[in-house]
Chain A
Amino acid sequence: MNNPSTENFAISRAALRASRFGAMLSRYPRALGWVRRLMLPLAIQDENSFNKHFRFFILLAGCAMSDPKDLKALGILSRDLNAYMENVMDEASDKPMVWSEWNLSNEILRAFDVRQYVPETFAIVSQMAGSDAAVEMIERAEEEGMAPEHCSAAKTAVGALLANEAPKPDVIISSSHPCDSVASSYQTLQYMTKVPMFVLDTPYWDDDKSFKHYENNLWDLIAFLEKHLDQKLDWDKLREICANVNQTNHYLQELSEMSRAVPSPTSVEPLLLSWLGRMAAFGSPNGMEFAELVHANARERLRKKRSFIEKEKIRMIWYDVPLVFAPLFPWLEKKFGAVVVSDFMGRIQTVPIDTSSPETMVRDLAKTHLYCTMVRHTRGPAEFYLEEFKKIIDEYSGDCFIFMGHQGCKGGWALRKMFRDVCREAGLPSLFVSSDIFDKRHVTEEEVKRQFEDFFRSNGLA
């Protein structure tokens, strides 16, 4: 099935080199700040053959982050990201390889002695080799018979397997959320890899019965992993991980709340990066240190009433910040003084985990999983999204709402009118952009920028 003519992990290795370079520079945050400053004019231009190989680096260099202290925090996070990528590519390792869907929180998996790979993250990693790389993966998946209507992240995951960019799995863990597209893509991945797969059944509602159902799922998952990995779960390790998760969540949740201040001492970017780092760093000491540091920096800015970006003019509330359009953020900041104060992807809303016994840990892990980004929104009725959205509008003093819809996300598009009506009721100007988070063919960055300019100006925001 794999193409023998393709070098294994060619794109991943290029991404790792860029990430290592970023991590090395972040040891000298001021130097990284200068590199960012010098590269920014080239990076925020539309992609061309010259800038395509380093343009996405701007994401690793913290998007619009400019405070050297934040850049230092980023370096701490990138240590774990690098370790994750090295582990994925370590073909000599005798540790079992577990694939885990990106909406799952992997504390339990981390308490086993395994390597892990999150297939959808390749859609982000591949952007380091230019946006063409993701498109190539998507096309490979489509050529093999995946429907064009599938989510591009799911197609990239399949494409990566075909292009020898994914490690060989021993076990796969998937779930019934966030959408049919992702759930069905895991059936394809299992069909292609022929390894055992465990599917978590995500409940619809937020009640005790639903939490109990998911808790039982987690016990079944532990039994499944112990059987197929021939290992026992290390409960002491899980306790340590859960304690770190509690601390990390505390910092990130406070960080989400700090954006309510005007001017905002932070933006969703550290939150998004922590979300990106979740697959590698959530519950790790580095992940916790990153959260602690960005929290302390934001707190310091809040005390001094300093804004996250140089001059805050427009406060944006986003539906779903597209990571692949990362160079859009420095552009928005530079041209309009626009900062993202809240979005559904980065926002942390969760509960602490009681680490006193295995039973309490699994019970609370079930809740934290169901409160994770995307999971808490997409598994139930539209009201889960809308009630949170109304709260954000009420609390975050946003000047506008941006909905950059993702083509594969049918559930998201179904909400469009409801979001629009909530905005109209609140008198909040809204922009709806039809895009694809990972597939640049759908809409060009130039067109997206044009729409932003028109929107800000016609609503008197710029």
Chain B
Amino acid sequence: MISAGIDVGTRFVKACIVKDGEVMGWAGQDVSRDIDRVIAGVYKKALEQAGIKKRQVKKLVSTGYGAKLVKKTSFTMSSDRCAAKGAFALDPTIRTVLDCGGLFLTVTAIDEKGVFERALSNDKCAAGSGKFLEMSAQAIEIPFSSISQYAELSREPYVISSNCAVFAESEVITQVNHGRNNTDIIAGVLHSIAGRAATLFERIQAQDNVALGGGLAAVPAFADRFEQMTERKTVSLPMPPQNFGAFGAALMAQQGDPFKEGSRRK
């Protein structure tokens, strides 16, 4: 069976095509004003990469902040469950998934069978998110792809005191005007986000092994700081971390009738 998962995040839209649990193709693109076109474009690219036609897809499941924007979806599913499903399918030793997206940090606990147990998320505020890192990098004119290199050069990371992304951005600009080194500022921002992630991580009483998902996971300096703070090693999985959600959604679509086999019924 071929299925598709589309993850409409706050910063990126990702699509994944799966056949019998194996990835056939995937694509991702920035969110822009014409969201319908972005979703359609990403889906089309993923289908092209998989080398199949849309009609061959039996089921489409959407997830993420804008899951309901996807047309003709079989059903929508929360992103924490999808990210956990995707990560567990890639590595069945995973028990905790930290999904660091554009606007939300979510930590999800799963059991040894991959069953969702509970999830915690940073409510409302974007201060602990990828968007905050992006805004700060723009303010101090550092390319997003070079954040890790800049952070590594920091000698004295600046401690961000604001909890709100808007105030924190003002604070960053103030520090730039005071002549603070931009390497210290970006290291401070990473430290602040990793601290929030670590707090959620502690609250859920996370078990090993741990996988990092979402766009922030692709920033090595963030992963390093998170590992230092929590004194845990994260497991790297054979898929770009932004794609766990879309992959998990496609896997959700593949779940068959549970009563055909393995039924609990007597």
Real binding pair:
yes
Instruction: Point out the residues of chain B lying under 8 angstroms from A257, CB to CB.
Output: none
**A454–B265 CB distance below 8 A:** no
Q: How far is the CB of B183 from chain A (nearest CB, A)?
A: 42
Q: A454-B81, A457-B75 are in contact. Are A399 and B111 (CB under 8 A)?
A: no
A398 to B265, CA, bound (A): 7
Q: Does A222 contact B (CB under 8 A)?
A: no
Instruction: Point out the residues of chain B lying under 8 angstroms from A450, CB to CB.
Output: 78
Q: Does A458 contact B (CB under 8 A)?
A: yes
Q: How far is the CB of B152 from chain A (nearest CB, A)?
A: 39
B187-210 contacts to A, CB under 8 A, are none
Q: A399-B258, A450-B78 are in contact. Are A458 and B85 (CB under 8 A)?
A: yes
Instruction: Point out the residues of chain B lying under 8 angstroms from A454, CB to CB.
Output: 77-78, 81
Select B264's contact among A420, A424, A427, A458, beta carbons within 8 Å.
A427
A135-173 contacts to B, CB under 8 A, are none
Select A458's contact among B81, B118, B259, B265, beta carbons within 8 Å.
B81
A425-462 contacts to B, CB under 8 A, are 427-429, 432, 450, 453-454, 457-461
**A397–B77 CB distance below 8 A:** no
Instruction: Point out the residues of chain B lying under 8 angstroms from A432, CB to CB.
Output: 118
Q: How would residues 67 to 109 of chain B score, 1 for a CB under 8 Å from any chain A CB and 0 otherwise?
A: 0000000011110010001000000000000000000000000
Instruction: Point out the residues of chain B lying under 8 angstroms from A429, CB to CB.
Output: 115
How many of chain B's residues have a CB under 8 angstroms from any CB in A? 20
How many of chain A's residues have a CB under 8 angstroms from any CB in B? 20
Instruction: Point out the residues of chain A lying under 8 angstroms from B264, CB to CB.
Output: 397-399, 427-428
Nearest residue (CB) in A for B82 is: A458
Instruction: Point out the residues of chain A lying under 8 angstroms from B179, CB to CB.
Output: none
**B116–A458 CB distance below 8 A:** yes
Q: Does B266 contact A (CB under 8 A)?
A: yes
Select B258's contact among A262, A420, A461, beta carbons within 8 Å.
A461
A1 to B76, CA, bound (A): 51
Q: How would residues 109 to 144 of chain B score, 1 for a CB under 8 Å from any chain A CB and 0 otherwise?
A: 001010111100000000000000000000000000
Q: A450-B78, A458-B85 are in contact. Are A397 and B266 (CB under 8 A)?
A: yes
Q: Does A315 contact B (CB under 8 A)?
A: yes
Instruction: Point out the residues of chain A lying under 8 angstroms from B81, CB to CB.
Output: 454, 458
A458 to B75, CA, bound (A): 11
The total of interchain contacts (Cβ-Cβ below 8 angstroms) comes to: 40
B234-266 contacts to A, CB under 8 A, are 252, 255-256, 258-259, 264-266
Instruction: Point out the residues of chain A lying under 8 angstroms from B118, CB to CB.
Output: 432
**A459–B266 CB distance below 8 A:** no
Q: How far is the CB of B166 from chain A (nearest CB, A)?
A: 27
Q: How far is the CB of A335 from chain B (nearest CB, A)?
A: 10
A405-438 contacts to B, CB under 8 A, are 420, 424, 427-429, 432
A458 to B258, CA, bound (A): 11
Nearest residue (CB) in B for A453 is: B75
Instruction: Point out the residues of chain B lying under 8 angstroms from A457, CB to CB.
Output: 75, 77, 252, 255
B6-28 contacts to A, CB under 8 A, are none
Instruction: Point out the residues of chain B lying under 8 angstroms from A458, CB to CB.
Output: 77, 81, 85, 116, 252
Q: How far is the CB of A241 from chain B (nearest CB, A)?
A: 38
A420 to B252, CA, bound (A): 23
A461 to B111, CA, bound (A): 18
A454 to B111, CA, bound (A): 17
Q: How far is the CB of B99 from chain A (nearest CB, A)?
A: 15
Instruction: Point out the residues of chain B lying under 8 angstroms from A427, CB to CB.
Output: 113, 264
**B75–A262 CB distance below 8 A:** no
B34-78 contacts to A, CB under 8 A, are 75-78
Q: How far is the CB of B246 from chain A (nearest CB, A)?
A: 15
A128 to B256, CA, bound (A): 40
Instruction: Point out the residues of chain A lying under 8 angstroms from B111, CB to CB.
Output: 424
Q: A262-B265, A397-B266, A398-B264 are in contact. Are A460 and B77 (CB under 8 A)?
A: no
A315 to B263, CA, bound (A): 12
Instruction: Point out the residues of chain B lying under 8 angstroms from A397, CB to CB.
Output: 264-266
A313 to B259, CA, bound (A): 9
Instruction: Point out the residues of chain A lying under 8 angstroms from B113, CB to CB.
Output: 427
Instruction: Point out the residues of chain B lying under 8 angstroms from A424, CB to CB.
Output: 111
19 pairs of residues in contact across A and B, judged by CB atoms under 8 Å:
A262-B266, A397-B266, A420-B117, A427-B113, A427-B264, A429-B115, A453-B76, A453-B77, A454-B77, A457-B77, A457-B255, A458-B77, A458-B81, A458-B85, A459-B115, A460-B255, A460-B256, A460-B258, A461-B258
On A, residues with C-beta under 8 Å from B are 262, 313, 315, 397-399, 420, 424, 427-429, 432, 450, 453-454, 457-461
On B, residues with C-beta under 8 Å from A are 75-78, 81, 85, 111, 113, 115-118, 252, 255-256, 258-259, 264-266
**Given pairs A424-B111, A457-B75, A460-B256, 12 additional interface contacts (CB within 8 A):** A313-B259, A399-B265, A428-B264, A450-B78, A453-B75, A453-B76, A454-B81, A457-B77, A458-B81, A458-B252, A459-B258, A461-B258
